[in-house]
Every structure is written in structure tokens, then in C-alpha cells.
Amino acid sequence: MNLPHVAGAQMTSGAGDHETIPIVAALLLALEREEVGYCHWKSNDAIARSASGENDLDLLVRRSDATTFLEIMHRLDFKRAIATPDKRLPGVVNFYGYDFEAARWVHVHVHFQLIVGHDATKNYCLPLERLYLRSTRRESGFLVPEPEIELVVLVLRLVLKYSTWDAMLLRQSRPKEEEEEELAFLEERADMERMAALLTHHLPSLRTELFFACREAAAGRASAIRRVRIGQALKRALRPYARRGGWGDVGLKVRRRISLGFRRKVLGRGRRKPRLSNGGAIIAVVGGDGAGKSTVVEALHEWLSAEFDVIRVHMGKPPRSGPTWVIQRTRALLGGLSEAVRGKGSRTDALPTEDTIPTASGTRRKRARLSRILFEVSVARDRHTTFCRAKRVAMNGGLVLCDRFPLQGVELPMDAPQVEAAISSGGSNSLTRFLARLESSWYRAILPPDVLVVLRLDPDIAVRRKTDEGSDYVRMRSEAVWNADFGETPAVVMDASRPKEALLSELRKLVWSRI
């Protein structure tokens, strides 16, 4: 997608010079052309950082223009995301875009109604949308509200967030540095008489005296006990605009804080990230040795996980189940493993036949062969289990990155059924034929990925790149991909011999266009 540049997009703020990146410039231009009613409703002291993608874009959009706005976001290739349950709010939508030229994510936080309050509950819906949108001016390319209106809402937000008993007890009663800067920025520009008139007309339940007391509390010019009293008085005044009752709000806040603390302290996890509203995707990267599969998967994970819920799986080496582990240990005891399997617990890519164990007795050869067949069947089941887990994540909106992937109709030796070929060359019986059918059934149940990328690399280059494995082994695996026909698959074949950054740039654009 080619995004237009906006002339004169260089802007200055207290944080220094910032330039409007192309995707933000294109969004502003489209909103103006389509006459969408909107404004950047908060944090306008740092508006230039929003233009550069360093901050989120917090847009209030007129409800009647919602359809036009959503069409614009679709044209600009923004992806709509579902917030985690504790962040999900009515009338609030999240969009993510990626500016490939600036190599920067842009998060657009879209409000069709003004919902404010403590971060854990956002309990109040203020009836100020029309006022915001009726009195805008242009600044740094954005439409922004008058400072009096923005100051009113900021003061209410700060008191609801920090002037409470629980905030005092948890030592979270002081605004962040950027919030203090925003408050000072707006107080310098706001007309207090006009602000008082706006309060009387648009928030009649909030007395002017109480609001100016809230100003003192927000600025830290009151004692802790007085601040709590002011906070309680503000909650009573805003009761007509509350989304839930007082005790219901307190209970929800407690539950969410306990849940967040459990995730962080007990499970060692951070906050959950949003998922795509269009549904998730399984993104598979296939290639021979030396093609850079692991490097590509790592780079894609680093890129996507910055904003979304992303997991990685290795379909070539799935997590070992209990049966697989038992079979491995049994094979080791029976002496049916190669040195690599005995030392590292890894697997080779071909089953042993009568000719590959010439020094073993007939009974021992049969044991080794059967144990290997059982191992391959168990690995097939592990791959199917891993696929099912990945599919569940994708069906719930998450993204799954797969290193290697079994493909129907493409017989890659490292990711294809092994038993059938072995019994055709080494003899079969009813048991081995049953196991061959069982292995094939596990592979057939692995459905194609949503996005399939094949890294195709000349075998000679692969041998030069992959020096930690035997050259014959590397060449064999590389030739399998090089000679494979992916015409019946949804694969996008890419030349893996190109420089890493060029390959990753194309790959990011491909993935973003298909998820």
C-alpha cells in the first residue's frame, strides 16, 4: 500500500521534533476528505508523538460517521483487534496499523463515547461527545478540543484514578509524570470562567465548587484524607453517568487486581495482549536446512508479539508426550538407537531397514525396527496434538508461528509419514500395516496453515550456510524443498538466498496482508 505524505508534516512539541509518519498522514488526510467528525481527545500536549507513532492515537469519532470511519481504516489496512476482557469497553474499538516505511506500529484507540475512570473498571460515561466535537481546532494536523473541555475531563480522570482509598493503600496515589505535564499544559491555556460555564451547562450534577476542589486534588495540593473525601464526593456527583453501582465497581476492581496480581506474581506473566477480531491465523514457515526458517520465525515473533497475542511452535520437533518419551527410553535400553538419539534424544529422518543394521541379530533388528515404527507413530500423534493446540489459539483470535509444517501432497522427508515407506522396503505384517495407517491418519488430520511461506534455497548455498551438519544430510533436506511442487498448496515461495532484511521486509508485508 502506498501511503501519501502530508506536506509540512514536521512538528514540534515539548519532547522535540517529530515527523508525521506516512500511515498517520494518510489517516488524517482521509478523515478530512471524507468529512468525518472526530478529534484527538486527550494527551494533546504530546500530539506530535502521536503523529510519529510513539504514542497511541486516542480519537473520539462522531457516531453517525462510524461506518465511514471503519471503511477508511479498512482501506488503510488497519486491523481491528479485540481487547482483553478487563480492557473491553462499549463504544470503544482498537485498531492496529504498521507503517512499513517508518517500521513502527500505530495503535488507534477509537471512542464513540467518552468512557473514563479508574484503569481497572472505567466506570463513567460522560455526556460530552457533542461538546468535544463541536468545538475543535486544528493543531499539528489533528483536530483537537478546546483546552477548557480537555482540562475538565483530565481532572475528573485523575481524581477517579488516584484519589481513592485503595490507591492510597497501594501507594498509587500520585499521577504519572506525563499526566502532571498534561495538567500543567492545559491549565496554562484554559479560561477558568468559560470552563465553569461549560460545567454548569453540560455536567449539572457536578458543582463548580467540587470541580475546583478536584483540581486541587489532581494537582496534589490537598492532604491524602482530603483527596479521598473529594474523590468520594466526585463519585457521588457522577452517579448518573456510572455504568455500574458503587459496590459493583469496587468488587470488579478488587477481582481484577487480584487476577492481575496472580498472573504476575504466581504465574510470572504480564498483561494479556489483544487478539485480532477477524480471527487468528496459523503462519507456517517451511524450508530446507540453511534457509533461515528459525531466524524468520524469531523475527516475525519479535515483530508481531510487540502488539498481539502470539505463540511459537516447532512442528518438526513437537513437545514430547509421555508415550513418545517411554518409547525413546525403551529404544535406548534395547540398543536400537543411533548415537545421536542416545546422546540428544533427537530423531533421524529415515527408519532403519534390514540393511542398515547388518551386525545385529534378526531378533534385535526386528525389535529396533518395531521400536522405530512405534516412535514415528507417536511423533505423528505429538505433531497432531501440537497442531490442535495451535488451531485453538488461532480460532480464538491469536497468532501462531510454526517452524516447519507437515503438508498434504508435498512429501518432505522430515515432515511426512515414515512407516509406509519402511514396511514396503522391509516387509510388513498386520501390526505394521495398522501402525502405518494410524500414522497416516494423524498426518491427514493436520489441516493446511492459514499462511504458508516456503523458503527456497539452492542446495549448494544451503551446504555452505549450514556447516554444523553433514553436507550430504543438509543437501538431501534442501533438495527435497528445492524440487518439491507446491502448486496444490496455498504456499508463497520466496527466494531465501536474498539478504535477510529484504526477505523479512517482504515477509512482513505478506503476513500483514493475509491476517
3-state secondary structure of 211: helix
**pLDDT tier at 335 (50, 70, 90 boundaries)?**
low
Nearest residue to 276 via CA among 142, 148, 398: 398
In this predicted structure, the answer to whether residue 490 has a pLDDT above a threshold of 90 is: no
Evaluate whether 271 touches 387 at the Cβ level (below 8 Å). no
The cell numbers describing 185, all together, are 499544559
Is-contact 283 312, C-beta < 8 A? no
Distance CA 85, CA 260 (A): 12
Contacts (Cβ under 8 Å, ≥6 apart) of 491? 286, 452, 453, 454
pLDDT per residue as tens digits for the range 415-459: 888 888 777 766 678 888 899 999 999 999 999 999 999 999 999
* CB atoms closer than 10 angstroms to residue 107: 18
Q: What is the pTM of this model?
A: 0.83
Q: What is the pLDDT of residues 194-230, one digit of tens each?
A: 988 888 889 999 999 999 999 999 988 888 899 999 9
Cβ neighbors of 364 (< 8 A, separation 6 or more) are 334, 335, 336, 357
- Res 348 pLDDT > 90: no
Cell 477508511 locates to 72
Tens-digit pLDDT profile for residues 257-292:
888 777 777 777 667 888 898 889 999 999 988 888
> CB of 244 within 8 A of CB of 252?
yes
Q: In what order do the strands lie in the sheet with 451-456?
A: 310-314, 399-403, 281-287, 451-456, 491-495
- For residue 447, what are the contacts with CB-CB under 8 A and spacing of at least 6? 387, 391
Give tens-digit pLDDT for 155-192. Answer: 999 999 999 888 887 777 788 899 999 999 999 999 98
Distance, in Å, from the CA atom of 214 to the CA atom of 203, rounded to the nearest integer, reads 14
Strand 16-19 versus strand 79-82 pairing type = unpaired
Q: What is the DSSP letter of 86?
A: G
Which of 234, 254, 236, 237 lies closest to 246, judged by CA?
236
Return the percentage of the chain with pLDDT > 90, whole number.
55
Cα torsion 102, 66, 117, 136: sign: positive
Q: Does residue 250 register a pLDDT over 90?
A: no
User: Which string of DSSP letters, residue by residue, matches 457-485?
Assistant: --HHHHHHH--SS-HHHHHHHHHHHHH--
Rounded to whole angstroms, the Cα distance separating 515 from 510 reads: 9
CB 202 within 8 A of CB 128: yes
